[in-house]
């Protein structure tokens, strides 16, 4: 293998060079966002390879996501000008799975073991509960699963769990440990491992087989870890075991970016590192290369409000840049419109929308943006998650609505007849399908017919009769109620909401929020038919990987990434900081929310917009929103506030406004009662106008600061008045 010997060290500052070059001995790089921690890791990898200090198979590099691993691999291969075989570069899970496969028999697995997902885990636990005569209604499977996961995150096998860990983990009158043991045995019988097992089994193997442990300790001469602040106890223990011999463990992290405590991450691993590894060298990087002065100062000002932090200084030699735009809007819809307007203005300045990210606190927030972007044809991608209408609970709810809308919708019937579980087994379903085929009745009708006979068990028949009665009622509700109300009734009466409320998984609260958001969505439509057609159109806009897209993702998913233009919507009390985090974890929950805000702000390279709405629709109701306390914690000198409701038009830093000023546009003004008026613009209905993107058209509606234009080429578009020109 030929390795290119570029001197990429010249592209690093002195502290970074030191971090790259200090390959021997434990090293902790503790530094704020954008200071080049990930770059240090990449360069260190190349440095070790280029100087023949170790082979790729002797270096274990841990990244937070598979995507990050791929990027790092590509960068290193570019630096050394060669593709490399035998890498050990990946997430904790993927690396641990590799070690486990090679040694599976030591924990009584075959090397063909399967890795099971959450659904399988739940199914398994349910079987166990039923075998043990534990009432699943009282003691939900999900609760036990989260207890087991917590123990696994702590690196505890059933025999390691001591009473001390019992607090808050009572399950079925002290049976959690016993059930954990049964669950583990069952997995082994099935030749399966869950995600937590991947690390836990390796830890166990190392504990019981010092020869195997030595083998890996000898093999991995160098260990590199990114995002170290978000490791949990089991991951840390795993790392420590691997690094014990050579002690060449390099961890980079930022305590201010620890945002996964809800998944067992423990920021105190940073403090333990220095205790566990004597003579640890700690390097601090202080120069930020990512963000403008204003962005950096705002982020530093905000995070300084946290009490429990190690504290650090950050500076940049880069431009002070534009002020951060804080914009208060009327509601979620206006928020989405303003953001899409800004993105379009950005594109008009010949910038790529690949540069743009919208980072939300909660998954349900993506919906308004998705709808808006689909409407105006702006390509987008939901990164690290599904698009709103593709999400499981939304598809279930829509299946209910489809069946209510049409008894012939067989796929919808199949999807929800036993969801939530109504005790209809596969046999019953097959029976209904058979009868439907032979009688040429649709599934619903076939089921109804059968339920009036003795063909099915009496329990199945009565379940179907009850379901049919509900369907009849919902079809009447459809005629008499608002669509949003109908959705609420259906989800409540079908037992779907109850199922989710009992669900103790991490995802469940988000799923409930998504369903509330669905109520908002559907209320915007005149008829159920219209709504269902809309969904079909939305779903057809399939993801095209090759085109440039604006990215929408959660703040959690944005860790480690950077974008020139970032929007942070929904900065309102309750949403961000998230009320649940505060309720459940008090001050430390609030501090984690603040760290999340810090992560969000520091993703931005050049321009940052933060939005808050005065009111939001929740459950079909308007709720007045209080601006997030984080908005008040940003240093005034780095921000520019702009509200749709006052004359405080501070256009200094807005991209749109620059464009606006340059084009000598009219500025909108505003009445006290929250309605807009157009100050000296004098646009009239049916007036012919010009728009930079869509060309010539006629005004067909004026609604406050928004106008609907019938464009000669582009058809009908709803636009902000400020972007149209008189001719
Ligand atoms: P985060 O905490 O968000 O993960 P980080 O500390 O890992 O950030 P990087 O992503 O490695 O920071 O670097 C931030 C940006 O700064 C990247 O675009 C990187 O290429 C650039 N950068 C880092 N070091 C230098 C340097 N010495 N000279 C120029 N650019 C640099
Ligand atoms: Mg990084």
The answer to whether the beta carbons of residues 120 and 482 sit under 8 Å apart is no
CA 252 to centroid of ligand 2, rounded, Å? 8
Q: In what order do the strands lie in the sheet with 724-726?
A: 715-720, 706-711, 695-703, 688-691, 724-726
Whole-angstrom distance, CA of residue 237 vs CA of residue 311: 26
- Strands 724-726 and 688-691 turn out to be antiparallel
pLDDT at 420 over 60: yes
Could you tell me if residue 143 is inside a domain?
Answer: yes
More confident residue, 114 or 564: 564
34 CB within 6 A, ligand 1: yes
Q: What separation in Å is there between the alpha carbon of 103 and the centre of ligand 1?
A: 38
Is 16's C-beta closer than 6 angstroms to any atom of ligand 1? yes
Q: Using the mean position of ligand 2's atoms as its centre, give its distance from the Cα of residue 253 in Å.
A: 8
Same domain, 485 and 523: yes
The total number of residues written for the chain in this structure: 727
pLDDT band for position 167 (50/70/90)?
A: low
The minimum-distance atom of ligand 1 relative to the CA of 40 is 11
What is the extent of the structural domain holding 446? Answer: 390-534
Rounded distance from Cα 551 to ligand 2 centre (Å): 19
Protein residue closest via CA to atom 27 of ligand 1: 12
Contact 600 CB / ligand 1 (< 6 Å): no
Distances (CA, A) of 24 to 5, 76, 211, 258, 281: 21, 20, 24, 27, 10
Is the pLDDT score of 680 beyond 50? no
Tell me whether residue 527 is in a domain: yes
Q: Is the predicted pLDDT of residue 640 greater than 60, yes or no?
A: yes
110: how many CB neighbours lie within 10 A of its CB? Answer: 10
Could you tell me the CATH number of the domain that includes residue 168? 1.10.10.160
39, 562, 563, best to mutate for ligand 1 pocket (most atoms within 8 Å of CB): 39
Distance CA 90, CA 202 (A): 16
591 lines ligand 1 (CB under 6 A): no
Using the predicted structure, report yes or no on whether residue 542 has a pLDDT greater than 60.
no
**Rounded to the nearest whole angstrom, what is the distance from the C-alpha of residue 412 to the centroid of ligand 1?**
49
Give the rounded percent of residues in the chain with a pLDDT score beyond 70.
90
pLDDT class for 2, splitting at 50, 70, 90?
A: low
Q: Whose CA is nearest to atom 13 of ligand 1?
A: 36
DSSP type of residue 527: S
Residues 221 and 84 both lie in one domain: yes
CATH number at residue 574: 3.40.50.300
Are 489 and 602 part of one and the same domain?
no
- Asked whether residue 573 falls in the same domain as residue 693, the answer is no
Phi, psi at 271, each rounded to 5°: -70, -40
Cα of 361 vs centre of ligand 1, distance in Å, is 24
Residue nearest to atom 29 of ligand 1 (CA): 289
Mutate to test the pocket of ligand 1, among 30, 230, 288, 290 (most ligand atoms within 8 A of CB): 290
Ligand 1: which atom is nearest the Cα of residue 289?
Answer: 16
Query: Which CATH number does the domain housing residue 703 bear?
Result: 2.30.30.140
Say whether both 207 and 95 belong to one domain.
Answer: yes
33 CA closest ligand 1 atom index:
2
> How many whole angstroms from 544 Cα to the centroid of ligand 1?
29
CATH value at residue 514: 1.10.486.10
| Predicted local confidence at residue 36, as pLDDT | 96
- CA–CA distance from 413 to each of 223, 404, 417, 453, 685 (Å)? 52, 10, 6, 20, 48
Q: Are residues 515 and 396 in the same domain?
A: yes
Query: Which pLDDT does position 265 carry in this prediction?
Result: 87
- Calpha distance 688→16 (Å, rounded): 59
Closest ligand, as measured to the CA of 604: 1
Q: Using the structure block, give the residue that is written with the tokens 């869509």.
A: 694
Indicate the DSSP class of residue 323: P
Strands 615-618 and 88-90: unpaired
Ligand 1 near 61 CB (within 6 A): no
Cα(597)–Cα(608) distance, integer angstroms: 12
498 and 553 both lie in a single domain? no
Task: Say which residue the tokens 């082994």 belong to.
Answer: 188
- Ligand 2 center to residue 32 CA distance, Å? 9
CB of 514 shorter than 6 A to ligand 1: no
Q: Looking at the structure, do residues 362 and 304 belong to the same domain, yes or no?
A: yes
Q: Are residues 367 and 397 in the same domain?
A: no
The b-or-e profile of 414-434 (16+ CB within 10 A means b, else e) is: bbbbbbeebebeeebbebbee
- pLDDT at position 164 is 54
The verdict on 55 and 146 lying in the same domain is no
The residue whose C-alpha atom lies closest to atom 9 belonging to ligand 1 is 36
Tell me if 505 sits within 8 A of 146, measured CB to CB. yes
Specify the pLDDT at position 649. Answer: 37
Q: What is the pLDDT of residues 450-491, one digit of tens each?
A: 888 888 888 999 999 999 999 999 999 998 899 999 999 999
Which ligand is closest in space to the CA of residue 558? Answer: 1
Residues 6+ apart with CB under 8 A from 427: none
Separation of CA 62 and ligand 1 centre (Å): 18
Mutate which of 32, 34, 228 for ligand 1 pocket (most atoms within 8 A of beta carbon): 34
672 in any annotated domain:
no
Residue 195: inside a domain, yes or no? no
Domain end point (choices 136, 156, 190): 190
H runs (alpha helix) in 81-220: 92-103, 118-131, 141-153, 176-189, 195-208, 210-219
- Residue 106 belongs to some domain of the structure: no
- What is 618-670 written as a DSSP string? ETTEEEE-PBPHHHHHS-GGGEEEEETTSS----TT-HHHHHHHHTTPPPPEE
DSSP string covering 101-120: HHHGGGGT--TTPEEP-HHH
- Phi/psi for 360 (5° steps) reads -105, 155
User: Which residues are in the CB-under-5-Å shell of ion ligand 2?
Assistant: 37-38, 560
pLDDT band at 674 (very low <50, low <70, confident <90, very high): very low
| DSSP per-residue letters across 670-715 | E-TTS-EE-SS----TT-EEEETTTEEEEEEEEETTEEEEEETTTE
Looking at the CA of 284, name the nearest ligand.
Answer: 1
In a domain, 670, yes or no: no
Please tell me the residue having the least CA distance from ligand 1 atom 2. 33
Q: Domain for residue 687, yes or no?
A: yes
- Of all atoms in ligand 1, which is nearest to the CA of residue 32? 2
- Calculate how far, in angstroms, residue 310's C-alpha sits from the geometric centre of ligand 1: 21
Same domain, 357 and 482: no
- Residue 662: Cβ-neighbour burial (10 angstroms; 0-12, 13-18, 19+): exposed
Beta-carbon count within 10 A of 130 CB:
12
- Atom 15, ligand 1: which residue's CA is nearest? 290
For the CA of 257, the nearest atom of ligand 1: 2
**Which-ligand-closest: CA of 33?**
1
Would you state the structure tokens that stand for residue 131, as one six-digit string?
Answer: 């075998």
Residue 589: CB partners within 8 Å, gap ≥ 6?
Answer: 577, 581, 582, 583
Q: What is the pLDDT of residue 345?
A: 94
Residue closest by Cα to atom 24 of ligand 1: 36
What's the CA gap between 595 and 492, in Å, rounded?
36
Mutate to test the pocket of ligand 1, among 15, 19, 36, 283 (most ligand atoms within 8 A of CB): 36
CB of 37 closer than 6 angstroms to any ligand 1 atom: yes
Rg from Cα positions in the chain: 29
Residue finishing a domain among 155, 190, 225: 190
Q: Is the distance from CB of 360 to CB of 569 less than 8 angstroms?
A: yes
By CB neighbour count within 10 A (0-12 exposed, 13-18 middle, 19+ buried), where does 436 fall?
A: buried
Cα(364)–Cα(423) distance, integer angstroms: 31
Same domain assignment for residues 83 and 18: yes
Q: Which residues are catalytic?
A: 37-38, 226-227, 257, 603
SS3 550: strand
Within a domain: 384: no
Identify the domain boundary among 172, 190, 208: 190
pLDDT digits (tens, 9 = 90+) for 360-402: 999 999 999 999 998 888 989 888 888 898 899 999 999 999 9
* Span 429-458, average pLDDT: 88
CB-ligand 1 contact for 13 (6 Å cutoff): yes
Q: What is the pLDDT of residues 230-277, one digit of tens each?
A: 999 999 999 999 999 999 999 999 999 999 988 888 888 888 898 899
As for how many domains the chain has, the answer is 5
């Amino acid at each position: 293998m030929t390795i290119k010997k570029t001197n990429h060290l010249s592209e690093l500052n002195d502290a970074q060079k030191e971090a790259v070059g200090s390959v021997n001995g434990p090293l902790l790089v503790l530094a704020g966002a954008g200071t080049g921690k990930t770059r240090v890791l990449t360069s260190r990898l190349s440095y070790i390879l280029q100087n023949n200090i170790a082979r790729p198979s002797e270096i274990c590099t841990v990244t937070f996501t598979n995507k990050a691993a791929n990027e790092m691999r590509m960068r290193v291969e570019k630096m050394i000008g060669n593709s490399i075989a035998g890498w050990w570069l990946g997430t904790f899970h993927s690396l641990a799975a590799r070690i486990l496969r090679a040694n599976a028999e030591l924990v009584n697995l075959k090397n063909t073991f399967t890795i099971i997902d959450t659904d399988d885990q739940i199914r398994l636990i349910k079987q166990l509960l039923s075998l043990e005569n534990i009432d699943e209604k009282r003691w939900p499977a999900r609760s036990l699963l989260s207890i087991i996961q917590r123990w696994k995150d702590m690196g505890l096998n059933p025999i390691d769990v001591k009473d001390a860990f019992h607090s808050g983990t009572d399950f079925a009158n002290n049976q959690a440990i016993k059930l954990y043991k049964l669950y583990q045995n069952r997995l082994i019988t099935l030749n399966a491992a869950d995600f937590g097992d991947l690390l836990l089994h390796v830890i166990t193997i190392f504990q019981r087989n010092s020869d195997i442990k030595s083998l890996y300790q000898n093999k991995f001469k160098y260990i590199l870890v990114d995002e170290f602040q978000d490791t949990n106890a089991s991951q840390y223990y795993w790392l420590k075991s691997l690094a014990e011999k050579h002690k060449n463990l390099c961890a980079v992290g930022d305590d201010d970016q620890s945002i996964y405590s809800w998944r067992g991450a423990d920021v105190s691993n940073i403090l333990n590192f220095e205790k566990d590894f004597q003579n640890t060298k700690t390097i601090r990087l202080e120069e930020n290369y990512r963000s403008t002065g204003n962005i950096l100062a705002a982020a530093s000002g905000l995070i300084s409000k946290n009490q429990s932090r190690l504290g650090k200084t950050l500076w940049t030699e880069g431009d002070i840049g534009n002020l951060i735009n804080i914009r208060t809007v009327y509601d979620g819809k206006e928020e989405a419109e303003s953001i899409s307007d800004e993105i379009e203005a950005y594109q008009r300045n010949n910038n790529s929308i690949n540069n743009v990210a919208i980072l939300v606190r909660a998954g349900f927030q993506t919906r308004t943006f998705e709808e808006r972007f689909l409407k105006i044809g702006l390509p987008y991608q939901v990164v690290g998650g599904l698009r709103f209408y593709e999400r499981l609970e939304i598809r279930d709810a829509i299946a209910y609505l489809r069946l209510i809308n049409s008894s012939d919708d067989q796929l919808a019937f199949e999807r929800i007849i036993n969801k939530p579980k109504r005790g209809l087994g596969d046999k019953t379903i097959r029976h209904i399908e058979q009868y439907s085929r032979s009688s040429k009745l649709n599934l619903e009708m076939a089921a109804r017919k059968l339920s009036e006979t003795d063909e099915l068990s009496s329990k199945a028949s009565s379940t179907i009769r009850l379901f049919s009665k509900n369907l009849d009622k919902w079809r009447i509700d459809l005629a008499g109620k608002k669509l949003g109300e109908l959705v609420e009734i259906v989800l409540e009466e079908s037992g779907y909401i109850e199922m989710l409320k009992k669900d103790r998984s991490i995802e469940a609260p988000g799923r409930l929020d998504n369903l509330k958001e669905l109520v908002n969505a559907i209320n915007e439509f005149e008829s159920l038919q219209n709504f269902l057609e809309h969904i079909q159109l939305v779903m057809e806009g399939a993801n095209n990987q090759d085109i440039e897209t604006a990215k929408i993702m959660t703040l959690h998913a944005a860790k480690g990434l950077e974008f020139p233009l970032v929007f942070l919507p929904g900065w309102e009390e309750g949403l961000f900081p998230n009320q649940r985090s505060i309720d459940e974890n008090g001050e430390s929950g609030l501090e984690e929310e603040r760290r999340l805000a810090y992560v969000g702000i520091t993703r931005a390279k050049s321009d940052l917009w933060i939005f808050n709405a005065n009111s939001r629709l929740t459950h079909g109701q308007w709720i007045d929103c209080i601006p997030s306390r984080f908005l008040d914690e940003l240093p005034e000198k780095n921000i520019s506030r702009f509200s749709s409701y006052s004359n405080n038009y501070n256009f200094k830093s807005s991209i749109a406004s620059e464009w606006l000023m340059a084009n000598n546009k009219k500025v909108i003004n505003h009445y006290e009662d929250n309605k807009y008026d157009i100050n000296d613009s004098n646009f009239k209905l049916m007036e012919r106008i010009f728009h930079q993107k869509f060309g010539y058209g006629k005004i067909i509606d004026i609604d406050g600061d928004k106008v609907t234009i019938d464009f000669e080429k582009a058809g009908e578009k709803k636009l902000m008045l400020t972007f149209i020109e008189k001719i």
